[in-house]
Structure 1
Amino acid sequence: MLADWMTAAGFGALKPAISALLLPPVPFLLLAFAGAALARRRPRASRWLVVAGIAGAWLGCCSGAARWVEERWLDEPSPLNAAERATLKARAAAGQTLAIVVLGGGLDARASEYPAADLRNASLKRLRYGLWLGRETGIPVAASGGRGWATSDVAVPAEATRMAEVARGEFGLPLRWVEAASRDTHENATGTLALLQPAGVREVLLVTHGSHMPRALREFRAAAAAQSASSPIAITPAPMGQAWPADSIVTRWTPSGAGLERMQLAMHEVLGRMIDRR
């Protein structure tokens, strides 16, 4: 796969730059600029390109469009319901060894209001849900995430390390395991399962955004099979962040920072699925 080849060839550090160029609104802005450049030579084509670019940039920043992409292009599993959570709680109480694994979603390295890097919104939401699920079911929680490919500053803490600090200091719930060396979803899977296997964990409840879940699930199940083909650790999805925006239909289809963030996350997974098919 292209993503694996880039990593093996030492080009993993280019992933963030390539993603930035391919994710909204950049491609649409480039389309509009190209149209403007053709205004004198090809006026009709120029108008169409400019309109298409502006429309694409607009929709690329709308939470309604982002949710549409998630529903149409990504095979998101359903979130755990009350009955499933009750079953998990009973299994944990009966002594079955399960673990909740929360995947990091990024750090704000220069959050000067804190003494250390702060968790990005995606990381904090995943962590909060994972801790809530752990409290509901009695299942211990792990965090997975190191320094991503875009992070070159060794002084920046690993995502999972910061997640553990927030879990303990702000939620009062210490994590059982911390995998702090991974740089992407593939390494999340291999590193975390290597940490959990010696503890006798037989099933993982995987927590990440619904849009990220199909790819994360594929990576974790592949890593589990590679670890033990005869008796792999079971991977159960516990997605979050899938609800339609609660605002009005007007604001849903009006550009916003939250809409852009959600669209970028969704399109990142669409591109990853196209490039890294298995």
Structure 2
Amino acid sequence: MQDLGAWKPLIGALLLPPVPWLVLVLVGARLILPRRNLGFFILLLGVVGLWMGSCSGTALWLQDQVLRPPPALLGETQDRLTAEGRAYAQRVALATRQGRTPPSPSVGIMVLGAGLVPRAPEYGVADLPHYFAERLRYGVWLGRQTGWPVGASGGVGWAQKEVQIGPAEAEVAGRVAQLAYGVPLRWIEKSSVDTRGNAAASVAMLADQGVTEIVLVTDAFHMPRARRAFEQAAAAWAARAGKPVPTITPAPMKFWGKDANPVLAWMPSGAGMANVRMACHEWLGLLAGS
């Protein structure tokens, strides 16, 4: 299983845009002389695919119509978590005054990893890429708003597993949270290599400590697959432990929105290409059950 997982980055790179469209362009160019009409059609199909696969409008359509992430947490659910968090803080304060062991939290905020920079030249140490950094910032903010503790999940991904020597993603997140925000992470899950591993290890870690609701923080495009993995892991943990299934509450962030100029939404851009690629990655992951 581990050997198969190690091939995931390469397989994904070959299946995700722009590689399939580039292959069509090459095939079409090769066929233009012997079979002009067919070659031109395939070439045109590849060019159209490259164009549409580089548009932010395509990414937005994939997000809203294919991936369909849940809405942002802000609102009634966050208000509930805040009220419960304040009640929990009061119980902790009372137990501390009475010299008793503070109660364990029933809610935990878990931020999913998104890779790392093994050595950032400006810092001289490992750092978080922008996806993970933004997830962590939102997770810390959510923890401050609601009063519930925060954790991070992420070991060493398949793409870096054979070459990386150093801290895991979650360990780097713990250092950044402490130094940049002054917030120590309560949970550091550093054994996982992918989203399913994040889910299995995080659910077991938090549920074994009495957490009955996990607030899951990740990008909106990643949330459908992550949520499914965490709900499956929660059900599996409950079956093993003979206890109620922990609740998974999605807290998606970084939704893709409409461009101010609708024409620009259908003009190729680097950001559009990156977002389409990520959306396709998530869609393939959902289809493959990973």
Give 1:94's aligned residue.
Answer: 87
**TM-score between the two structures when normalised by the length of structure 2:** 0.88
Which of the numbers 113, 117, 136 marks the counterpart of 1:127?
136
For the 8 Å contact 2:118–2:164, the answer to whether it is kept is no
Secondary structure of the residue that 2:125 maps to in structure 1?
A: coil
Residues 1:55 and 2:60 aligned together: no
Residue matched to 1:14: 7
Distance in 1 (alpha carbons) for counterparts of 2:183 and 2:274: 28
Unaligned segments of structure 1, at least 5 residues: 1-7
Give distance in 2, aligned partners of 1:221 and 1:266.
Answer: 21
What amino acid sits opposite 2:153 in the alignment? S
> Are residue 31 (structure 1) and residue 24 (structure 2) matched?
yes
C-alpha distance in structure 1 between counterparts of 2:2 and 2:252, whole Å: 32
What's 1:4 paired with?
A: none
Letter in 1 for 2:198: N
Amino acid of the structure 2 residue aligned with 1:25: P
- SS at the partner of 2:219? coil
C-alpha displacement at 1:120, in angstroms?
1.7
Write the distance in 2 (CA, Å) between the matches of 1:26 and 1:110. 29
Flag the 1:194–1:243 CA change in 2: closer, same or farther, 3 A: same
Q: Tell me how far apart the structure 2 counterparts of residues 73 and 146 of structure 1 sit (CA, whole Å).
A: 29
Gapped regions of structure 2 (runs ≥ 5):
89-104
| Counterparts of residues 107-256 of structure 1 (less than 5 Å) | 107-151=116-160, 152-229=162-239, 230-256=243-269
1:45–1:156 Cα change, 3 Å: farther
Which protein is bigger by CA-based radius of gyration? Answer: 2
Post-superposition CA distance 1:198-226 (Å, at most 9, x none): 32111000011122111111111111111
Q: Residues 170-203 of structure 1: CA distance to partner in whole angstroms, max 9, x if unpaired?
A: 1222211110110011110111122112321110
* 2:71 is equivalent to residue 78 of structure 1: yes
Distance 2:179 2:193 in 1: 25
3-state SS of paired residue (2:279): helix
2:278 to 253, 256, 265: 265
TM-score, normalising length from structure 1? 0.91
Structure 2: distance between partners of 1:257 and 1:157: 31
State the secondary structure of the residue aligned to 2:220.
coil
Instruction: Determine the structure 2 residue equivalent to 1:5.
Output: none
Give the alignment partner of residue 46 of structure 1, picking from 39, 43, 47. Answer: 39
> How far apart are the structure 2 equivalents of 1:18 and 1:181?
23
After the TM superposition, list the runs of 4 or more consecutive aligned residues in structure 1 that deviate by more than 6 angstroms.
Answer: none
